[in-house]
Amino acid sequence: MHHVELTSAGMARAERLAGNVGVLEIRPSLYSPKYAGAAAAGAMSLL
């Protein structure tokens, strides 16, 4: 398993808060779209 998979491609948290506020926590780092594109798109569609 690659480090990208072990860290959910850097998407630590995606949450929708009250007042239509979205939080996207990326850590430990933002990976290349080649590796993290699907995870980032999924997180952004939630928000």
- The alpha carbon of 5 is separated from its chain's Cα centroid by a whole number of angstroms, namely 12
Q: Tell me what the mean pLDDT of segment 24-45 comes to.
A: 86
* Number of domains the chain is built from: 1
Report, as an integer, the average pLDDT of 24-33.
83
Residue 8 CB contacts under 8 Å (≥ 6 apart), including other chains:
39
d(CA 7, CA 47): 20
Residue 14 banded pLDDT, cuts 50, 70, 90? very high
What percent of the chain is predicted at pLDDT more than 90?
30
Give the structural domain span for 18: 3-46
For 15-32, what is the mean pLDDT?
89
Tell if the pTM clears 0.75, that is, is over it. no
Cα 14 to Cα 2, 34, 35, 42: the distances in Å are: 22, 20, 18, 9
- Please provide the distance, in angstroms rounded to a whole number, between the alpha carbons at the two ends of the chain: 28
| Average pLDDT of the segment spanning 19-34 | 87
